[in-house]
Amino acid sequence: MINAFYKEMTGKESVIRQFFDYSRKRAAEFGPDSVFDFSIGNPSVPAPESTTESMQRLLREKDPVSLHGYSPTLGQPTTKEAIAESLNKRFGMNYGANHIFPTSGAAGALSHALRAVTQPGDTVIIFAPYFPEYIPYITGTGAKVSIVPADTDAFQINFDKLEELLTPEVSAVLINSPNNPTGTVYTTETIRRLASVLEKKQEEFGHEIFLITDEPYREIVFKGTDSPFVSAFYDNSICCYSFSKSLSLPGERIGYLAVNPKAKDADLIVPICGQISRFTGHNCPSSLMQLALETELYITSDLSIYEKNAELLYNALTETGYSIVKPGGTFYMFPKSPIDDANEFCWSAAKELGLIIVPGDSFDCPGYFRISYCVPTERIEKSIPLFEQAFRKYK
Amino acid sequence: MINAFYKEMTGKESVIRQFFDYSRKRAAEFGPDSVFDFSIGNPSVPAPESTTESMQRLLREKDPVSLHGYSPTLGQPTTKEAIAESLNKRFGMNYGANHIFPTSGAAGALSHALRAVTQPGDTVIIFAPYFPEYIPYITGTGAKVSIVPADTDAFQINFDKLEELLTPEVSAVLINSPNNPTGTVYTTETIRRLASVLEKKQEEFGHEIFLITDEPYREIVFKGTDSPFVSAFYDNSICCYSFSKSLSLPGERIGYLAVNPKAKDADLIVPICGQISRFTGHNCPSSLMQLALETELYITSDLSIYEKNAELLYNALTETGYSIVKPGGTFYMFPKSPIDDANEFCWSAAKELGLIIVPGDSFDCPGYFRISYCVPTERIEKSIPLFEQAFRKYK
């Protein structure tokens, strides 16, 4: 019989998806210019030419039997080595190839990391607002989710609430900085304080609390933003990365996890990830992609458009009267809705103005909405009067 | 704390791996000619030139933002359409694109299919000898494994034992034809009888029993072998496929599952697979690979070497006195060990002769050994005297 749990889920469409679908429908009916779709976080800039050339070179020059052959269970050794070296050079770390596990994007990295450092029944802490897929990633391991409410003043960390929720059942804490949906970046002060709280609690409970850091936006940080490399501040940490945004390769499903060499059982965690793959049928990412990345670890796509769009939108919207915590990176911002019911605000903006934005309820933070500004700047410019209209309707 | 279950597994190296490692060590010490490694099922022929060209053409001509963009959760529509059409044309089926779910190889297909049609606590039946990874694929879903002992006469199905084990708890039956490790192919008669037994039991139990077919070797079938397309014979079936062997792309992790359009809830199973991915962090295979395959669905690598090797080896070994069920496809055969303890036989062959073969114990079928003959024919020719020596030592 088909699985009842998953079957029930197929009926439930995510709100983000509903807005996206409405946008498609409206575009089909009234033309693409009638819609300003800020609902989805798809990179809008192409992969670097050198990345395409790296793939082409492998296809041209490397023996296909070895190029497309099985990757070792724990990943291509040369790729792992190159990733470790790049992190060591850039962030003063001391990773070895054995601490790197190539994964199917950040989703694969997070799912492996979570399974590796929890037992079924443990608790994992996350922070609102959060990427909604964290819930299935965590519950899929058999762990429970505990949610720290948002610090809506600065979208840093609500430490009082965190300390309250840090019970002995907690075996991992998952953070996402630079953050989706807020665009904010945890400061060095925030990370230091987080590390110190976790260290204190580890001591108190007599067991490790792993810090899992979801960092797909690490390379999209705007000028002047304090953006610490989290793993440098806390030993029991696993950094989860994806090349989806930095190299504009989301469909290639390529990322990695990097186990802090100072973590407890550091040398065991990657082999454990290899075992986890056997139970989920996940296996390594594409061997062509793994190999192609080796030369692409110090570059990014031209990400400057995201900063330009952020600046333009932030200035215009705050001038209009919106209240926004200024994004320090990513291609998201998370303004306060002019009315309490962000859901109503977003649907009205969609239907009356063709402005497709997503209510914060989807990220467990009602009263706010997310703008994904990974779109051509010209679309941002044209949308500004509509954001003004939407605001004026309610104020 | 790190996960105790997976941690314990990291200590346990598979026997196949031990033989493979011994082979590497011996080759390093005495030179590659000192080893005849028949332990691993890696394709030895290159991907078709047109497949490489298909990847190159996409990299050259397609807009990179769309080429490497997120694939829809349920897979690239054009790829799904092309796969459905190819199956319909070749096997007289009636798949729609909505019945096709691209996966990370057969491992991903099997893991999704198993989760889709079982509830935790259900039982899944498999048949010895079997690919050892079936155990984690099944237990990873929360289901139990029930094993039908081998039909060592012909490596078809031991139906008496099957009927005995077909209890009401069974929600799925998993077969692998053409088979690893035996190289045999289930005949039309076997498949008809299997379908009829399952239909009878479905009726009796009042619930579906899904037949999951693992078919990565579908295209490697030797002349004159009866090789039915299993899903044509049983409605509640899900076909799991990989391009690893047919196009020699194992490292690219690309395959699919195809839900029989006549299955119960046929239109729900692919959406269910999309939900399952969220809990395992698995997601779609590489978008480049999905798109590149669209033009490659009616061709294969030059697989003729496998048949040539099979013929050569089967004739020489049976002449020597080995007892072997003649393989009908794949690049494996599964001779009877000259002594009861196949483990002893294989280690002695490895250490005394550099002949690396794997004991049947690894496939839950003691007293046999597997030869993977996906190697250059010249290596097969040179190994024959060694197989003779190994046999003579014990007879």
What are the phi and psi torsion angles at A193 (to 5°)? Answer: -70, -40
Contact predicate A201/A172, CB 8 Å = no
Q: Give the pLDDT of residue B395.
A: 75
CA distances from A143 to A116, A169, A324 (A): 12, 10, 34
Would you give the end-to-end CA distance of chain A in angstroms?
Answer: 54
CB atoms within 10 A of CB B232: 17
Chain B interface, mutation test: which of A17, A134, A282, A331, most B Cβ atoms within 10 Å? A282
What is the pLDDT, as a whole number, of residue A12? 80
Which has more confidence, A391 or A14?
A: A391
Residues 6+ apart with CB under 8 A from B181: B129, B131, B332, B334, B358, B360, B363, B365, B370
Taking Cα atoms as reference points, which of B309, B321, B315 lies closest to residue B393? Answer: B321
Contact B251 A67 (CB under 8 A): yes
Cβ-nearest to A68 among B103, B109, B248: B248
Instruction: Show the tokens assigned to B289.
Output: 């690979």
Q: Looking at the predicted structure, is the pLDDT value of residue B270 above 90?
A: yes
pLDDT at res. B46: 96
Residues of A in contact with B109 (CB under 8 A): 281
Please determine, for residue A283, whether its predicted confidence score (pLDDT) is greater than 80.
no
A248 closest CB neighbour out of B65, B116, B283: B65
Q: Tokens standing for B91?
A: 């096997």
For B253, the closest chain A residue by CA position comes to A286
Residue in this structure with the two tokens 């190299």, named with its chain if needed:
A247
A173 pLDDT above the threshold of 90: yes
pLDDT digits (tens, 9 = 90+) for B77-108: 999 999 999 999 999 999 999 999 999 999 99
Per the CB < 8 Å rule, is B281 touching A280? Answer: yes
Find chain A residues with C-beta within 8 A of B117's C-beta. Answer: 1-3
State residue B12's pLDDT score: 79
* C-beta atoms of B208 and A281 within 8 A: no
Radius of gyration over every alpha carbon of chain A, rounded to an integer in angstroms: 21
Q: Which of B364, B333, B290, B362 is nearest to B105 (CA)?
A: B290
**pLDDT of A381 over the 90 cut:** yes
HSE-up of residue B277 (Cα within 13 Å, Cβ side): 25
Instruction: Judge: A3–B119 Cβ closer than 8 Å, yes or no.
Output: yes
φ, ψ at A237 (rounded to 5°): -130, 150
SS (H, E, C) A121-164: CCEEEEECCCCCCHHHHHHCCCCEEEEECCCCCCCCCCHHHHHH
**Confidence band of B204 (pLDDT split at 50, 70, 90):** very high
pLDDT averaged over chain A?
96
pLDDT score of A20 = 85
| Chain B positions in Cβ-Cβ contact with residue A272 (cut-off 8 Å) | 2-3, 6-7, 9-10
Share of chain A above pLDDT 70, in %: 100
What average pLDDT does this structure show over A137-164? 97
Q: How far apart are CA B364 and CA B158, in angstroms?
A: 15
**d(Cα A381, Cα A249) in Å, to the nearest integer?**
26
Q: Do A70 and B105 lie within an 8 Å CB cutoff?
A: no
Scanning the structure block, which residue is given the tokens 């009861």? B340
Question: Residue A119's beta-bridge partner residues?
Answer: none
Residue A129 has pLDDT above 80, yes or no: yes
pLDDT category of residue A113 using cuts at 50, 70 and 90 = very high
Q: List the end-to-end C-alpha distance of chain B, in Å, as a whole number.
A: 54
Q: Say if residue A269 is exposed, middle or buried (CB neighbours under 10 Å; 0-12, 13-18, 19+).
A: buried
| Backbone phi and psi for residue B103, each to the nearest 5 degrees, phi listed first | -135, 165
How many Å apart are CA B327 and CA B179, to the nearest integer? 9
The answer, yes or no, to whether residue B13 has pLDDT greater than 80, is no
Compute the distance between CA of residue B82 and CA of residue B87 in angstroms, rounded to an integer.
9
Burial per residue of B346-359, b for 16 or more beta-carbon CB atoms within 10 angstroms, e otherwise: bbbbbeebbbbbbb
CA B138 to chain centre: 15
pLDDT band at B40 (very low <50, low <70, confident <90, very high): confident
pLDDT score recorded for residue A282: 81
Cβ contact, residue pair B55, A52, below 8 Å: no
Q: Do the strands A355-356 and A237-242 form a parallel or antiparallel pair, or are they unpaired?
A: unpaired
With CA atoms as reference, the chain B residue closest to A115 would be: B3
Q: Taking the C-alpha atoms of B110, B111, B116 and B120 in order, what is their torsion angle to the nearest 10 degrees?
A: 130
| pLDDT tens sequence across B125-176 | 999 999 999 999 999 999 999 999 999 999 999 999 999 999 999 999 999 9
- When scoring B212, B265, B286 by the number of chain A Cβ atoms within 10 A, the one with the most, hence best to mutate, is B286
Kindly list the residues from chain A whose CB atom is less than 8 angstroms away from the CB atom of residue B251. 67-71, 284, 286-288
Half-sphere exposure of A143 (CA within 13 A, CB side): 30
Q: How many CB pairs under 8 A join A and B?
A: 234
Nearest to A286 among B52, B271, B289 (CB): B289
**Phi, psi for A255 (deg, rounded to 5):** -160, -165
Which residue of A lies nearest to B266 if distances are taken between CA atoms?
A2
Predicted confidence at residue A71, as pLDDT, reads 87
Contacts of B284 (CB under 8 A, 6+ apart): A251, A253, B71, B72, B73, B75, B76, B102, B277, B290
- pLDDT score at B330: 97
Residue A172's closest chain B neighbor by CA? B1
A59 contacts B59? CB cut-off 8 A: yes
Does residue A42 surpass a pLDDT of 90? no
Between A65, A70, A282, which is nearest B282 by CB? A282
Residue of A233, A147, A126, A134 lying closest to A187 (CA atoms)? A233
Q: Which of B52, B70, B111 is closest, CB to CB, to A59?
A: B52
Instruction: Give the span between the Cα atoms of A165 and A148, in whole angstroms.
Output: 7
Q: Please judge whether B251 and A69 are an interchain contact, meaning their C-beta atoms are less than 8 angstroms apart.
A: yes
* Interface probe, candidates A50, A252, A270, A302, chain B, greatest B C-beta count within 10 A: A252
Among A47, A171, A286, beta carbon nearest to B1: A171
Task: Tell me if A287 and B251 make a contact (CB, 8 A cut-off).
Answer: yes
DSSP H or E segment with residue A192: helix A188-205
Q: What is the dihedral of CA A302, A182, A242, B55, to 10 degrees?
A: -60
Average pLDDT of the segment spanning B341-365: 96
* Partner-chain contact B6 A276, CB within 8 Å: yes
- Look-up of token digits 């045999």: B184
Contacts of B232 (CB under 8 A, 6+ apart): B91, B92, B93
By C-alpha distance, the chain A residue nearest B113 is A2
**pLDDT at residue A10 is higher than 80:** yes
Q: Using an 8 Å Cβ cutoff, are B103 and B256 in contact? A: yes
Query: What is the value of pTM for the model shown?
Result: 0.96
B3/A272 Cβ within 8 A: yes
CB contact under 8 A, A115 and B3: yes
Chain A interface, mutation test: which of B117, B122, B141, B282, most A Cβ atoms within 10 Å?
A: B282
d(CA A39, CA A23): 9
What mean pLDDT is predicted for residues A268-292?
94
How many angstroms away from the CA of A328 is the closest CA of chain B?
24
Q: Which residue of B has its CA nearest to A6?
A: B272
Q: In whole angstroms, give the CA distance from residue A86 to residue A89.
A: 5
Q: Are strands B144-148 and B170-176 parallel, antiparallel or unpaired?
A: unpaired
Over residues B324-342, the pLDDT tens digits come to: 999 999 999 999 999 999 9
The encoded tokens of residue A282 equal 């996940």
Chosen from B24, B54, B70 to mutate, greatest number of chain A CBs within 10 A: B70
Other C-beta atoms lying within 10 Å of the C-beta of residue A24: 13
Task: Name the residue among B43, B59, B268 with its Cβ closest to that of A55.
Answer: B59
pLDDT of residue B282: 81
Question: What is the ipTM metric for this complex?
Answer: 0.95
Cα dihedral B119/B179/B108/A296 (nearest 10): 160
Report whether the peptide linkage leading into residue B181 is cis, meaning its omega lies within 30 degrees of zero: yes
Closest A-chain CA to B136: A279
What sign does the dihedral B54-B55-B58-B59 (CA atoms) show?
A: negative
Query: Using one digit for the tens of pLDDT, what is the confidence trace for A222-242?
Result: 999 999 999 999 999 999 999
Separation between Cα atoms, residue B190 and residue A91, nearest integer Å: 61
Percent of chain B past pLDDT 90, that is, above it, reads 91
Distance from CA of B227 to the nearest CA of A (A): 27
- Please give the average per-residue pLDDT across B292-316, as a whole number: 97
Say which of A52, A68, A251 has its CB closest to residue B69.
A251
Rg of chain B over CA atoms, in angstroms? 21
d(CA A139, CA A162): 20
Q: Which of B140, B252, B268 sits opposite A280 (nearest CB)?
A: B140
Give A5 or B195, the one with higher predicted confidence.
B195
Tell me what the mean pLDDT of segment A128-148 comes to: 96
Give A7's contacts in chain B (Cβ within 8 Å). 265, 268, 272
Across the interface, whether the CB atoms of A108 and B283 are under 8 A apart is answered yes
How many other CB atoms sit within 10 Å of the CB of residue A62?
Answer: 13
CA dihedral B17, B19, B21, B26 (to 10 degrees): -170
In terms of Cα–Cα distance, which of B325, B48, B38 is closest to B178? B325
- Give me the residue from B7, B112, B248 closest to A268, CB to CB: B7
Q: Residue B102 pairs with which residues in a beta bridge? A: B256
A104 contacts on B by Cβ (under 8 Å) = 104, 281-283
Peptide linkage before B376 cis (omega within 30 of 0): no
Query: Do the Cβ atoms of A3 and B283 come within 8 Å?
Result: no
